[in-house]
Structures are given as structure tokens and as C-alpha cells.
Amino acid sequence: ARLASELQNGIIRGELRLLYQPVFDLVTGRLHGAEALVRWQHPTRGFVSPGEFIPVAERSGLIVPLGAWVLREACTQLASWRAEYPNAIEAVNVNVAVRQLREAGFVDEVAAVLSDTGLMPANLILEVTESSVVDGWQVRETLQTLHDIGVRLALDDFGTGQSSLSLLRAFPVDVLKLDKSFVDGIADGEDRGRVAVAAAVAQLAEHLQLKAVAEGIESREQVDRLRDMGYRYGQGFYMAKPLPAAECGALMAADP
Ligand code: G
Ligand code: G
Ligand code: MN
Ligand code: NA
């Protein structure tokens, strides 16, 4: 409760900021996109990890104003990159919690942010987890409406949830993000079970004509293996950690 009230103050006082983790095209090696990741610099506690405060924000409902701030900030940043760099990324990825999707005004909020920042709906990729998709018809209807207006949807942490393959077919998803735990299985003394899931997800994406992104890549070997499996895109510390906006912009400036 204490952390929640401090978080509420922190949102108001502007203690949150966004980092952007680059997403790369594993075939060309070029920068492809970026995922916005929130950070909280508390005045006395110091840096508080999102692994700690995101669950608190979800339980307290603060994720709604926090998520609204993240969405607007990330879209404002993308618009600024696109105005500045001819080779700016197409789209920014924003994580969205199921609590946000349950809010009646969410679609209008997204539309207002796009209109205010001058972005096209396709410039925004919302990352949702498999569990949001199975939350109920209301959330599915919200996601369907967003997809109908042209916003793209990514299933985050894919492979860890319990969504059935038939749901995936009915759901308007554009991107599958393979969870890091499967990528971790590709290493010395590799885990055949996890590697098999990674390969199956790539095939599924191909057959459903979805983009496949591998997350949490930490080695050259993983890049090579994932690319050979069919992952066109990837992100991870091996290529780049989450970066301040200026450093991510510098990658776009350097892109020939
Ligand atoms: O950046 P890091 O890997 O430490 O993030 C930890 C967790 O917090 C991840 O699961 C990530 O998806 C989540 N997270 C980071 N930023 C946001 C955000 O803006 N909104 C939501 N809902 N989750 C976020
Ligand atoms: O749940 P979600 O996929 O949104 O979480 C993304 C989180 O994963 C971010 O907090 C980011 O800091 C973290 N992350 C990104 N790449 C790597 C990586 O290569 N290794 C590890 N350990 N974490 C990573
Ligand atoms: Mn994510
Ligand atoms: Na993820």
C-alpha cells in the first residue's frame, strides 16, 4: 500500500521515464523497432525495478494512469524520431496490462494519442499477454476494435500462457514474441524441449503469416539458431539493452 501511494506521487511528480529496447532484423542486422520499458527513479529509494512496481500498479489500479502516461510518452517519442530521422523505426511497442484493456475509454484514449502525436495506427504495436486474450469477450472486443482501426497487436511472452491455438486463429494478432525462457534453452547443453517449442512457434507464425520476434537473446549462437528457425526479428542484451531515447535515436541517425 505504501509503495502504491508513493508510485501515485511518483507518476504526478514525473519520476517515471521510458527506456527503449531496440528490436533488430536478424537477417539484415538493421534496426527494426523498439519496445518502450518504464523505469522509476524514486527520490530516496533510488531505482525501483518494474518487476517490483508493475505488479503493485496492476493490483492498485495505478497501471491505468501509469499506462496512459507510457502510451502518450512513447508515441510522442516515436513522432519526434520520425520527424528527425529519415531512417527512423516504423513503430514503437508499448506493453499494455489487461486492467487497461478493461477500461471503457481505452480505444478512445489510443485514438486521441495517435491523433495528438500525428501518428498512424500502424505506427503503434500494443503488446498484450496471452492471459489478456482469454480474459473475456469485452477485452477481445476492445482488441478487435483496435486492430480494425489499424493498431497492431503483439502477443508478449508467447509460449508461457495457456491460450489455445484455435483462439490464436480467431484473435487479430500481428506479432508473436517468443518468451525469453525458450531462447534460454538454446545454449551449451541445450534443452531440447524448449528448443522444440521455439521452432514450433516460428512455424506457427509462418503459417499464420505473423511476424515472429525472439526475446531475451544473449549470444551470437542464439541469433544464428533463431534466424535459422525462422525468427526474422529479435531483441536482447546481446544486441542492445533498453536505452535512453537519445541513444536509441543515435542508432537511427547512424543507419545508412
Ligand atoms: O524492463 P524489464 O524487463 O525490467 O520489465 C519487467 C517487466 O515489466 C516486464 O514484464 C515488462 O513487460 C514490464 N513492463 C515494463 N514496462 C511496462 C509498461 O510500460 N507497462 C506494463 N504494463 N508493463 C511493463
Ligand atoms: O515481459 P516483457 O517481454 O515485456 O519484458 C521485457 C523485459 O525483458 C525488459 O524488462 C527487459 O529489460 C528484459 N530483457 C530484454 N532483453 C533481455 C536479455 O537479453 N536478457 C535478460 N535477462 N532480460 C532482458
Ligand atoms: Mn514486452
Ligand atoms: Na516478453
Q: State residue 41's pLDDT score.
A: 94
Give the ligand with the smallest distance to the CA of 53.
Answer: 1
Q: State residue 249's pLDDT score.
A: 98
ipTM value: 0.96
Helix (H, G, I), strand (E, B) or coil at 38: strand
Cα separation of 176 and 72, whole Å? 24
| One-letter identity of residue 56 | V
Q: 10 Å Cβ neighbour count for 94? A: 26
Q: State residue 131's pLDDT score.
A: 83
What is the Å distance from ligand 4's center to 79 Cα? 24
What pLDDT digit, counting tens, does each position of 95-122 carry? 999 999 999 999 999 999 999 999 999 9
What pLDDT digit, counting tens, does each position of 141-154 carry? 999 999 999 999 99
Contact 173 CB / ligand 1 (< 6 Å)? no
On whether the 2-246 domain is CATH 3.20.20.450, my answer is: yes
Domain boundary assignment for the chain: 2-246
What would the grid cell of residue 116 be?
495528438
Element housing 196 (H / E):
helix 192-207
Contact 157 CB / ligand 2 (< 6 Å)? yes
Q: Report the residue among 18, 21, 53, 176 best suited for mutation to probe ligand 2: largest number of ligand atoms under 8 A from its CB.
A: 21
Q: State residue 1's pLDDT score.
A: 73
- For residue 242, the ligand 2 atom closest to its alpha carbon is 12
What is the Å distance from ligand 3's center to 193 Cα? 23
Ion ligand 3 — residues with CB under 5 Å?
Answer: 95, 127, 156
Q: State residue 169's pLDDT score.
A: 77
What pTM value is reported for the model?
0.96
Tell me whether residue 204 is exposed, middle or buried, using C-beta atoms within 10 angstroms of its C-beta: 0 to 12, 13 to 18, 19 or more: middle
What are the CA-CA distances from residue 26 to residues 76, 205, 218, 229, 235 (Å)?
Answer: 27, 16, 13, 11, 9
Q: State residue 167's pLDDT score.
A: 75
Q: State residue 116's pLDDT score.
A: 98
Q: State residue 132's pLDDT score.
A: 84
Q: State residue 134's pLDDT score.
A: 82
Give pLDDT < 70 ranges for the chain.
Answer: 256
Q: Report the residue among 38, 219, 237 best suited for mutation to probe ligand 2: largest number of ligand atoms under 8 A from its CB.
A: 237
Q: State residue 170's pLDDT score.
A: 77
- For residue 57, the ligand 1 atom closest to its alpha carbon is 22
Nearest CA to ligand 1 atom 12: 95
